[in-house]
Chain A
């Protein structure tokens, strides 16, 4: 038979545990909703063509929420913005950070494309350029029975549509339907 005091103690411990769990969930929820709110605020600005404000938001998001699920998209957007304003040095640093991650995502594919373009504009070691090229070409394995190409599409946080069209002998990267880069096998 359990004594009264033991039962009281057990209730007390249980209450503390529940409060801790609730506090963690609440805090996580707060943080989760903060980065999400920032992200979508940035999206709204980008849709209204306020890409400078959008950049500031994404820059803050990438800096303050490195574990956020929106981190990679936000980081890509900052790299994309710096490329657009011809800040090639910082742009290269950001895209190199993206490609250094272990996951193989669409964001990484287009980061490699930007890095190739940066090499063409500002120069880089030939071996490094070839490494980027190989990563773009081999990102996707394609089989073309009746089609002539397959596509990989990604819309960035700055609302630019990035499309990589894979042919059997080349890959063409478009940004908002304008040819950005052509890479031959």
Chain B
């Protein structure tokens, strides 16, 4: 008993001493690291050209240095949330090297829960050249493994139920500077990075495999594969200083899978040669969607990223994308995308020539900018140049869930030019909702204010076939007809309250059709009525008031048609149709009826009617047919009882004089 008490105390003392021996270096090290935290922050800030703040730094035995809460403190937003944040950075150094060679080097870096929030602007002011040089210098004949776990990229769509993008990756660099990396981006699932993941597992996943070499100031990319369920991309290139140059191809991935073959098949292949297919074609070929001859050059600077070019060939058509992303005060985008990039749009009649330009700034989840799209479309005689110019203010996207996309735009000015014709529409408070959950059919609906009225509609887009097929129905109401003069100049002289029901489809050909009604309006000095007013001395025709003007319209690539025209007013009725073809040729029949009350106001007409014995006529009909060029129309007064009586009355010489006079007047009238 007397001997056990001192030995217990001795053991306790040994344990305390052992703990002290173990803990005190750790404590000393942690104190040292705390003191050096400022220097570490300064070093990292210099390397990244940003003020980096580290929350906590400590040593974790046996060979780890942990840094927590790392962020760029120059980028705090108004709610003090850092848009770039690393929860934990673990540096694992080689204990063996430290003890045996007295050399401190980091063998593994684990970045846990890095977060990038793109909801607000993020300035990545990285000096890639310096990072590559620093890495090369630091690694010199050493290995390094970098693991990124549970990285999160929050997309810039506020109020969205869209899962943030989850990123997992691993990078291995050997002594010779050879880099091998694998990673996975996931939209639908959160999960840990799995090193056996081949990057092609299911919806919303994008996997990559990289083989590269680290040089003094550059990185040679020997092989980069990016794969998801639909797309296979193979690239190689170089990052030199701050310039990325790459080339490769992109192919549709849904139709070819490797054929593993049974053991017997492989044995047979060995003896008899490759008689069994290495690949199994399992679906239709989307050859038209494959991209070949891809080459890119991108330059990074402290102000942004310049896409010098991204060139590729799609379906044997050359394309080029150029542009600039600016990350200074706001995110700025300036992109241009063209087919046949070496040919100027105005100089080419090629129906495959398209040009797309987008210039916008992005801030607080909204875009302001413009989009211009121009292309040629085949017509009867020539190809016609089309141009769509969109100016957008406060355009935003939201993803409330269940495959829905919402688009809002405070103001959209649409300027559409086809050949010599320009149509302008101003939309306000545009709202659209689109269901993109179905792979084939996307259903959308939209509402908007259009001038003093409203526009609403719904439709669908079939994306299974190329070109996409779309169809929609729209309703316009409460719009003053004259406000639409920018859409078509015919409305310049039409006043009244317009409502219209429209349908549009693009397959098998582009076709817009529907009906319209204009109520309680008037026709203001329309050239044809102006001439009638002068010729028959009927001033009421210059400003022709009506209770209702209605009709059906149809616009396609061949012609614009107005049918079932029906104008009702107290003194004049007009019916008929009017068609202008794509090559400006008119075909029309108009049936005009004047009331006796109107004719009574014209002394000339009263005399004429008396001569014809029709002084008590309640109605007089004038039927016309028009043809020829829109700007030089042919005109014929069709047969009627009135005309027959007039012809009997007039001597031939007077007929001829009248014909000549009418001919001169018709020539002086343009169609507008």
B69 close to A (CB within 8 Å): no
B254 close to A (CB within 8 Å): no
How many residues of B sit at the interface, in one of the four size bands?
20 to 34
B286 close to A (CB within 8 Å): no
* Contact B662 A145, beta carbon cutoff 8 Å: yes
A33 close to B (CB within 8 Å): no
* Contact A142 B634, beta carbon cutoff 8 Å: yes
B658 close to A (CB within 8 Å): yes
* Contact A127 B629, beta carbon cutoff 8 Å: no
Residues of A within 8 A of B585 (CB): 134, 137-138, 185
Given A144-B637, A185-B587: A169 and B628 interface contact (C-beta under 8 Å): no
**A134→B632 CA distance, assembly (Å):** 13
Chain A residue nearest in CB terms to B666: A143
Scan A19-42; emit 1 where CB is below 8 A from any B CB, else 0.
Answer: 000000000000000000000000
Given A146-B647, A147-B659, A168-B634: A141 and B667 interface contact (C-beta under 8 Å): yes
**A166→B665 CA distance, assembly (Å):** 19
* Contact B625 A127, beta carbon cutoff 8 Å: no
Q: Which of A131-185 contact B (CB under 8 A)?
A: 131, 134, 137-138, 141-148, 166, 168-169, 185
The answer, among A131, A138, A145, for a CB contact under 8 Å with B629, is A138
Residues of A within 8 A of B625 (CB): 168-169
A17 close to B (CB within 8 Å): no
Residues of A within 8 A of B666 (CB): 141, 143
A130 close to B (CB within 8 Å): yes
How many residues of A sit at the interface, in one of the four size bands?
10 to 19
Residues of A within 8 A of B658 (CB): 145-146
B380 close to A (CB within 8 Å): yes
**A144→B382 CA distance, assembly (Å):** 32
**A68→B389 CA distance, assembly (Å):** 53
Residues of B within 8 A of A141 (CB): 628-629, 632-634, 666-667
B56 close to A (CB within 8 Å): no
Scan A106-149; emit 1 where CB is below 8 A from any B CB, else 0.
Answer: 00000000000000000000010011001001100111111110
* Contact A185 B627, beta carbon cutoff 8 Å: yes
**A47→B625 CA distance, assembly (Å):** 42
Which residue, of A131, A143, A144, A169, has the highest number of chain B Cβ atoms within 10 A? A143
Extra A-B contacts (18), CB below 8 Å, given A127-B382, A130-B380, A138-B629: A127-B381, A130-B381, A131-B381, A138-B585, A138-B628, A138-B632, A141-B628, A141-B634, A144-B637, A145-B659, A146-B655, A147-B659, A166-B634, A168-B625, A168-B634, A168-B636, A169-B627, A185-B627
Query: Could you write out 20 A-B pairs with CB less than 8 Å apart?
Result: A127-B381, A131-B381, A141-B634, A142-B635, A143-B659, A143-B663, A144-B659, A145-B637, A145-B655, A145-B658, A146-B643, A146-B658, A146-B659, A148-B636, A166-B634, A168-B635, A168-B636, A185-B585, A185-B587, A185-B627
